[in-house]
Chain A
Amino acid sequence: MDILNALMVLVNFTVIPALAYGSQLALGAIFVTLIYAVLRFANFATGDMMSFGTMFAVLLTYYFQSKGLNFGVLPTALLTIPFAIFMMIAYMLLIDKFVFKYYRIKKSPPVQFAMVSVGVMFVTQAIIRIIIGPTDRRFLDGEKFILKATEFKEMTGLNEGITLKSTQAITIVITLIVVSIMFWFLNKTKTGTSMRAYSDNEDLALLSGIDPKRVVMITWVIAGILATIGGVLYGLDKSYRPFVYFNNMLPIFAAAIVGGIGNPYGAFFGGYVIAFAEIFLTYSYKKFLQYLLPENLSPDTMVQALSTDYKFAISFSILVIVLLIRPSGIFKGKVI
């Protein structure tokens, strides 16, 4: 019984949150990796682009709520995602046309591209602050829990319960659906294959008649979809605060690089690696150990490897270790 209780503690406080957080990171990491693979630069505006898409979802949610529209037990924000994606893609294509295209035609080196994306990041941040401001916003409505700890305890008779927030379940389900569709698209369709070909060998792709403009456009469209969905899911699960999205860029980049940058499978996997590492290392195992160890050995301290304030240090350390030991990442991406 104690072992089961200990397990429930672990599942409730680490596994479920890590799966949800990992899914959010995975979407962002695939975004980074796709841009890197096709457009060949590290996009520092990733976090703020996700924030930009989410901003529209937040505003539209408020608007829908004011009109009395809702999605029943599900968050209204899910209804707004298609519109937010549309705005996001429009913004990305606009930025590409007026900023990135110039450097692409000039065949600028990747470092210059990365610096340009820093500029885009600042501009995007400024636009977001002008439109919605820097404050914390909650836009979650509908049913909050799928499974409450008390219900679970009643059902099983255990001391410890499992809580499943609806946002966590929605995050995991939507991520799996979106990522499956994306992998199907990349691997099974002609356009997807042409994108991979362009990423692999640009010159030969041109010699085969692949239109680079179309490849670039489709990449931004897919990136826009991923960025918006990832951003909205994160915002629903935690809350929407523009600055946090900027901070999330570190774990997102770490995820993309751990998995092997340029490799979407790697980025997907990397998201979970980072999330689990972050949560397992910052979780306090006191309660968990209390169930497992005899009373006289029970810990009085928190039994926490690192304080949660240091969670970015974990992504950063993983990033540095991977770059030192295996720069191509777990799934053999490109070497930066």
Chain B
Amino acid sequence: MASHCHDSFSTLVERHQSDLRYSLRQMTGWDEALADDLAQETFIKAFQAMASYKADAKFSTWLYRIAYNQLTSHFRLARNREITGVDDIVINTTEPAVNGEFSEQALHRDLARAMEQLPTQQRMVIHLYLHRQLTHQEICTIMQIPLGTVKTCISRGRAQLRDLLSSWYEEDQA
């Protein structure tokens, strides 16, 4: 019976692992080991709390909620600062341009490194909204924060990321 449960759950892990691990890499400044550890803990917590999962919500929404809790408790334990000064930080592209072409890997890493400069809450909101394209309401549900906070995080996060990723605009500005 336990083996059957594990096998069924493995199918769910298989289905959602790539998205969740990528999201957590974006949340951790592309720290692959940390992101995978957090993803693994998230799935184990989800398995333990499966009885509390209500089928009227999307499984991915519920999973992201657990992942967000894991992430915040990790950063709390690591005594990560919630507010980071961003004025003097500009993310340089990780790989040189070749005839104006940038590797996809560089884009993912640069985005993650820029996101790392944002407070955890803002980082998660921006990722869920701009990358995962979730609605404001879905983000409210996942993060258990008011709608106004979500909108503020999006607006501030966008502005900060514009400054942090200015190196991606150089060609067009010239």
Q: A and B from one assembly?
A: no
Instruction: State the B residues within 8 Å of A (CB).
Output: none
